Copies of this chain bind each other. A is one copy, B any other.
Amino acid sequence: MAHAEPEIIPRSRALAKERRREQLIKATINCIAKRGFSATTMADITKEAKLSLGIVNLHFQSKEKLLLETLKYLAGEYQSHWEKALNEAAPSPVSKLVSVVNLDFSKTICTRKKLAVWFAFWGETGSRPMYMKTCAEYDSHYTKVEAGFFAEIIRDGNYQHLHAQTLAATLDALTYGLWLDMLLMRNDLDRNQAKAVIMDWLHSIFPNHFQIPDRPA
């Protein structure tokens, strides 16, 4: 009997294991969104996942590792969306950038739940080097790619007085800043209003490349 299983069972087991991990990570995300970082306990997480209390340490060794894996999961999830957004966009740098902006303020990424979790992690990042490292790895890559797109537009459009690196930094900062606005309900922006702020800025820089967004009420 044993000779038939080594090929099949490990695979399904690995899948089952991966499913358990994802189940726990998603429960963690939900709990942090609901209760906040500091009030989220293992009991909350396992209850949310409808699993037993001991299972986290079975799959993640410790709470700290679960949290780190959760952050990596979020980062990885964002990355795959980001790459998909770029791949599906038309080849022009303008389309690529618009596609990224659309993603950042899409229903998939820009939910209160996810923003709450991201800022929960960023709030802890100041004192947890591992979180910072995880965030930084991904983010600097995005900025570089975006700077590349801006550079292309600058070159092709004779905008030599502009600085691609700065524009990319501006785009990123605007995005994160608008996310925080939305989380804190500071200026009562919704997703589309936030996106309009970005598009407005892009239009002001490259009036021939980016359209004026419809101004929401």
Please report A residues at the B interface, Cβ cutoff 8 Å. 33-39, 112, 115-117, 119-128, 132, 135-136, 139-140, 143, 163, 166, 169-170, 172-178, 180-181, 183-187, 189, 196-197, 200-201, 204-205, 215
Given A166-B196, A173-B174, A205-B204: A184 and B125 interface contact (C-beta under 8 Å): yes
A188 vs B183: C-alpha distance when bound (angstroms): 25
What 8 A-B pairs are tightest by C-beta distance, nearest first? A123-B123, A173-B177, A116-B126, A177-B177, A36-B127, A38-B38, A176-B177, A173-B178
A2 vs B187: C-alpha distance when bound (angstroms): 54
A201 vs B185: C-alpha distance when bound (angstroms): 24
A14 nearest CB across to chain B (Å): 18
Given A123-B122, A124-B37: A197 and B169 interface contact (C-beta under 8 Å): yes
